[in-house]
Structure 1
Amino acid sequence: MDRCESQPEVVDRDGPTAVAKRILPGDKEEKTIGDDFQWEYLEFDTSLPDFTTMISESSLIKPPNLQKYGNPFEWSRPQKNVTLFLCCISTFLAAYGAGEYGFTGETLRSEWNLSLVAFETGLTVFAFGFAIAPMFLAPFTEINGRRPVFLLSGLLLLIATIGCAVTDSFAGMLIARLFAGIGSSTYSTIIGGVIADVWQSKDRNVPMAVYSGFALGGTGMGPLISGIICDRVSWRWVFYSHAISVAVVLCCQLLLFKETRGSILLSRRAKAINSYYDILDEHTKQTGSPRVSPKIRYKVLADEQRQSLAEMLRVSLTRPFIMLSTEPVVFFFSLWAAFAWGVLYMTFNVLSLVFQARHNFTLTGQAGVFAAMVIGVIVATLLSVYHERIAAKHLPGMSASPEGRLYFTCIEAMLLPIGLFWFGWTSYSSIHWIVPTIAIGFATIGVYSVYLAVFNYLADVYHRYASSALAGQSFCRNTFGAVFPLFTSQMFLALDFPGASSLLGGIGLVLTLVPWVLVFKGPQIRARSKLASEIMSTAH
């Protein structure tokens, strides 16, 4: 797979099992140095001698600790769970940053004399940074690994969030929000790659479901907490509290988050072994003792196949858009996910608008409505975890094709348009507020099912090109998230709440046909795609 990681990547060309061939004596690629050393490609399962038996004369030459560079697929369950927890809490804080901004509007608009549209650009620039940054940052995870990019992005998010808290101008807020979006984007999008590094494909459903739950749960928790804060203390504490949380998680990552990228670990493993052999050889020369190190040195295939940084940037910035324009599956799935994400970002304005105008809710009351989103995400996450168990028990043939992942989605995704119709036509003051609130929870389940289905299906179909396909949908998704809030209030005030919700519900209903079409016609559609048909034929 090319290395564009603008979405939670679930297939990794350079994963721990993909550096696959060893050079044996007589092969054309055999290479020697000074007619003494033979180079071999290192794999995680390469047989190595017992280092502790190589030196008997000196205990000062300590063998390398290769456990630090072990195969992430073989990590212990506790270590995998710690990694997943750090990933999930990170993406939660990234998503939290998107929703925390809205409830500061009442104070900031008055303090800085802003129109509603001008204020909403603070959400737009955040989403724009979220959409663009991963395409530039993706190649650096291939060169430097996940951990450095992960930590630096967290540091950038921390600094930008503090900037939001201390700024005294709207221009400063916009700049800080842009960099907060850039930092958050890596937190959110690189985690799919981390999950692919640590879990085999057959084991990824649960960690991906949990990850998706934290991503959408953070989006709902942001306005929930920030609304309560704004109703009691200064708006600056919305960002101060977020910055404190980011700082704590960043410290935990610094201590507990280990590199997961297989090719990087193999390179470090090869370097450690080669350095040890060099030390042994030097010891042999100095003491005149018999040679104990083997006449080999190791290298990693992925290092040799890696393109230049300029070429990787070119691929990261162009291939997602090429696939959007040439692959119908990528285009329609991206449109579907983008619409769902745009609706999700609309809720930051709509819920406050409805419950303040129709039910006279206080700021804390408006914030409390977002608990319905959080509950909806929890329910959706539990459902997706049990889908796999149900399928394994009653539908064992589901995983035979990529369309097997869409059976449950076809039903659950319909909750998005249903929830939109339900919310709009029950938003009258004469109807109890709990009725439209429940509708929000159902619509959120629909958004979650779309979010997870798009990742899983594109990864299954496009394999080594999956990260580019997912990068394209991520760009579309976050672009819609950036644009939709700019006209949300105007649309709902012009069309009234039932009319605006019905318009959105109708669009959502049409887009819900996408998984149904693929369930019945997916194999034929994939057969017409040059990329998909080539990949699927290779897989078989």
Structure 2
Amino acid sequence: MGSPKAEPEDQLDWRYLSWDNVNELEDINTQYHSLQDNGGTVPQTPKYANPFEWSAGYKMYLSILGFVANFSTTYAGGSYTSATDAMAEVWHVSRVAVLVGVTLYTVAFGLAPMLLAPFSELNGRRPVVVVSGVAFVVGVLFCAVTRLYVGMLLARVLVGIASSTYAVVIVGIVADIYTDARSRYISLSLFTSGAMFGTGFGPLISAFIVQNTHWRWLFGVLGIFCLAMVIVIVATFKETRGSVLLSRKAKALNRWYDAVESSLDSHVVQAEKGTPSRIRWKVKADEERQNIGQMMVISLTRPMWLLFTEPAIFFFSCWAGFAWSIMYAMLVVVPYTFQTVYGFDLQTSSAMFAAMCIATIIMTIVSRYHDGWAAYFVAKEKLDTPEGILYPVAVEAALLPVGLFWYGRGAQQGAHWIVPALGLGCATMGMFAVYLAVFAYLAGAYKEYASSANAAQSMVRNLMGGAFPLFSQVMFQRLGFGGACSLLGGLGIVLTFVPWTLIFYGPKIRAKSKFAFRGDSS
């Protein structure tokens, strides 16, 4: 057959492709398929499927993968402190100079998502996750082999940049695949447990490695683990961003339509009009996509804009930043406490981080029953809003200041070591609640902008947390365990009112927002 006469581009019948016009799409594909002499295959492969309609099993697998990935990031952040004395001795620098590696890691961890998170919203999650994973492995292995103090600091920056993807983009992935608030909440509770468990498990295991082998194996073991994790991600992680999948589907269909038309002397005919029509698909998100320069500007400015124009994001960022600061301070303070007060060695004092791990496991289990408890005390119409998930965690967040007072008063001569250990566990439960509240609320309230919203709070959280290890030991030395913990506990009490403010005024705040979700949570 001869080729059809070329038609002007403006004679194409462009239609918007969405997940809602399935019937229209099937009708058009049937028309095109009937025009092919040799049949042909409609490009309707599973890789173009709506992520909301993926199987529950694969969604849960992604949630577990998110747990593992987030665990690896906080393990990388916390395990470093166990080798502080060993690295100071090798490079002939002070402990504070070595702890700069923690600060640089958290600064990079906080700033990188300002670019990576919006980029993943525009261009897809998978490229960012895969490339970041490879860079993560390279950075960790470089930490294991570098012979220079400066080399270690540079490697820590790379590790912070690369690993930050898993702490922020995964929240966006959860919003990509779940429509109902309960499933999203359960997935984010797993995500939170990965962060908290890794923070405690990192120094616990790394102290054993440093004391019994060589401190470089601290990074070697992590590098091997991360390499295995990245291989699994590359092999099994599919693109989850709905707008990106729609764009790819539209391009595949348009290529197929071109191939069909090039082999025919006629075109698809619209029955209702009776006139020739060359149908093509486009996606609204593609029309909104900017060039590279504009994308860079959006990527860098959107999180900052959200941070300073959205009250919920700003105050949640401060709340999360305080909790994160306490957690990073404990990486230095806990070994110092048990070595000073109880005379423990590095390995035994770091074993106290098991309290954080146990508390995380308890809170992961408890969080699965949050919706049931909330339903017993709170009206259903209030639970069906993004603020609905805040009721149980707002109560549990009070455990953070309680745990700080407990730890400070328990870490005294004559008190059994289990007393401050239990206080550490109590504070960890409170930190878990803060972490879960922030991620779950921002994912539910900002949906398609969840990654950018969390990039904003991640920046504040990590900049605050990264500074604390540099002066936390000095603060505890000067104020004493009781005085320092009382100061921090007092601040914790004040910030505990943040979620309650959103519970009562959140709907009004969202109603005035250009970015927040204004309907119910489903």
Shared fold, TM over 0.5: yes
Distance 2:515 2:282 in 1: 33
In the alignment, what sits opposite 1:265? 245
In the alignment, what sits opposite 2:273? none
Query: Is the 1:345–1:484 contact (alpha carbons within 8 Å) kept by the matching residues of 2?
Result: yes
Equivalent AA in structure 2 for residue 137 of structure 1: L
Q: 2:345 aligns with which of 359, 362, 373?
A: 362
In the alignment, what sits opposite 1:206? 186
Equivalent AA in structure 2 for residue 516 of structure 1: W
In the alignment, what sits opposite 1:23? none
Mapping of 1:101-250 within 5 angstroms?
A: 101-202=80-181, 203-250=183-230
Q: Describe the superposition over 1:17-63 as per-residue Cα deviations: whole angstroms up to 9, x where unpaired.
A: xxxxxxxxxxxxxxx8457631111122422146695367436x443
- 2:404 is the counterpart of 1:420: yes
Deviation at residue 332 of structure 1 after TM alignment: 2.5
How high is the TM-score relative to the length of structure 2?
0.89
Distance 1:38 1:522 in 2: 44
In the alignment, what sits opposite 1:19? none
Distance 1:114 1:184 in 2: 27
Query: Is the 1:66–1:269 contact (alpha carbons within 8 Å) kept by the matching residues of 2?
Result: no
In the alignment, what sits opposite 2:4? none
- 2:13 is the counterpart of 1:38: yes
In the alignment, what sits opposite 2:359? 376
Distance 1:289 1:477 in 2: 58
Distance 1:328 1:191 in 2: 23
Query: Per the alignment, do residues 453 and 53 of structure 1 end up closer, same or farther by CA in structure 2, a change over 3 Å counting?
Result: same
Greater shift, 383-392 or 481-490, is seen at 383-392
In the alignment, what sits opposite 1:485? 469
In the alignment, what sits opposite 2:373? 390
Q: 1:331 aligns with which of 293, 314, 333?
A: 314
SS at match of 2:262: helix
Q: Describe the superposition over 1:288-347 as per-residue Cα deviations: whole angstroms up to 9, x where unpaired.
A: 999999831111111012233333332333344444445444332221111110000011
- 2:71 is the counterpart of 1:75: no
Deviation at residue 122 of structure 1 after TM alignment: 0.6
Mapping of 1:402-421 within 5 angstroms?
A: 402-421=386-405
Deviation at residue 392 of structure 1 after TM alignment: 4.1
Q: Describe the superposition over 1:329-386 as per-residue Cα deviations: whole angstroms up to 9, x where unpaired.
A: 4332221111110000011101100111112222221221111111111111222221
Query: Is the 2:404–2:489 contact (alpha carbons within 8 Å) kept by the matching residues of 1?
Result: yes
In the alignment, what sits opposite 2:431? 447
Deviation at residue 168 of structure 1 after TM alignment: 0.8
Query: Per the alignment, do residues 303 and 109 of structure 1 end up closer, same or farther by CA in structure 2, a change over 3 Å counting?
Result: same
Query: Per the alignment, do residues 134 and 508 of structure 1 end up closer, same or farther by CA in structure 2, a change over 3 Å counting?
Result: same
Equivalent AA in structure 1 for residue 144 of structure 2: A
Deviation at residue 182 of structure 1 after TM alignment: 0.3
Query: Is the 2:321–2:461 contact (alpha carbons within 8 Å) kept by the matching residues of 1?
Result: yes
Mapping of 1:428-439 within 5 angstroms?
A: 428-439=412-423
Query: Is the 1:134–1:189 contact (alpha carbons within 8 Å) kept by the matching residues of 2?
Result: yes
Greater shift, 145-154 or 61-70, is seen at 61-70
Query: Is the 2:114–2:452 contact (alpha carbons within 8 Å) kept by the matching residues of 1?
Result: no
Query: Per the alignment, do residues 259 and 512 of structure 1 end up closer, same or farther by CA in structure 2, a change over 3 Å counting?
Result: same
Greater shift, 231-240 or 84-93, is seen at 84-93
Deviation at residue 460 of structure 1 after TM alignment: 4.6
Distance 2:473 2:307 in 1: 30
In the alignment, what sits opposite 1:344? 327
Deviation at residue 424 of structure 1 after TM alignment: 0.9
Distance 1:205 1:273 in 2: 35
Q: 1:310 aligns with which of 293, 303, 308?
A: 293
In structure 1, the gaps of 5 or more residues are: 1-31
Distance 1:519 1:139 in 2: 28
In the alignment, what sits opposite 1:475? 459
Query: Is the 1:165–1:240 contact (alpha carbons within 8 Å) kept by the matching residues of 2?
Result: yes
Equivalent AA in structure 2 for residue 531 of structure 1: S
Q: Describe the superposition over 1:49-96 as per-residue Cα deviations: whole angstroms up to 9, x where unpaired.
A: 46695367436x443243221001111122212222222211111111
Distance 1:335 1:307 in 2: 32
Distance 2:445 2:56 in 1: 29
Query: Per the alignment, do residues 461 and 79 of structure 1 end up closer, same or farther by CA in structure 2, a change over 3 Å counting?
Result: closer
In structure 2, the gaps of 5 or more residues are: 1-6, 271-275
SS at match of 1:168: coil
Equivalent AA in structure 2 for residue 42 of structure 1: L
Query: Per the alignment, do residues 363 and 536 of structure 1 end up closer, same or farther by CA in structure 2, a change over 3 Å counting?
Result: same
SS at match of 2:264: helix
Query: Is the 2:201–2:357 contact (alpha carbons within 8 Å) kept by the matching residues of 1?
Result: yes
How high is the TM-score relative to the length of structure 1?
0.86
Deviation at residue 451 of structure 1 after TM alignment: 1.2
Equivalent AA in structure 1 for residue 352 of structure 2: V
Equivalent AA in structure 2 for residue 502 of structure 1: S
SS at match of 2:280: strand
Equivalent AA in structure 2 for residue 360 of structure 1: G
SS at match of 2:368: helix
Equivalent AA in structure 1 for residue 339 of structure 2: Q
Distance 1:289 1:456 in 2: 50
Query: Is the 1:220–1:374 contact (alpha carbons within 8 Å) kept by the matching residues of 2?
Result: yes
Query: Is the 2:385–2:520 contact (alpha carbons within 8 Å) kept by the matching residues of 1?
Result: no
Query: Is the 1:274–1:297 contact (alpha carbons within 8 Å) kept by the matching residues of 2?
Result: yes
Query: Per the alignment, do residues 521 and 139 of structure 1 end up closer, same or farther by CA in structure 2, a change over 3 Å counting?
Result: closer
Q: Describe the superposition over 1:266-295 as per-residue Cα deviations: whole angstroms up to 9, x where unpaired.
A: 11111111122222223335xx99999983
Greater shift, 234-243 or 353-362, is seen at 353-362
Query: Is the 1:341–1:481 contact (alpha carbons within 8 Å) kept by the matching residues of 2?
Result: yes
Query: Per the alignment, do residues 291 and 334 of structure 1 end up closer, same or farther by CA in structure 2, a change over 3 Å counting?
Result: closer
Mapping of 1:11-30 within 5 angstroms?
A: none
- 2:494 is the counterpart of 1:515: no
Aligned Cα root-mean-square deviation (Å)? 2.8
In the alignment, what sits opposite 1:24? none
Equivalent AA in structure 2 for residue 406 of structure 1: L
Query: Per the alignment, do residues 142 and 205 of structure 1 end up closer, same or farther by CA in structure 2, a change over 3 Å counting?
Result: closer
Query: Per the alignment, do residues 321 and 278 of structure 1 end up closer, same or farther by CA in structure 2, a change over 3 Å counting?
Result: closer
Identity %, equivalent residues: 42
- 2:88 is the counterpart of 1:100: no
SS at match of 1:531: coil
In the alignment, what sits opposite 1:7? none
Query: Is the 1:281–1:291 contact (alpha carbons within 8 Å) kept by the matching residues of 2?
Result: no
Equivalent AA in structure 1 for residue 487 of structure 2: L
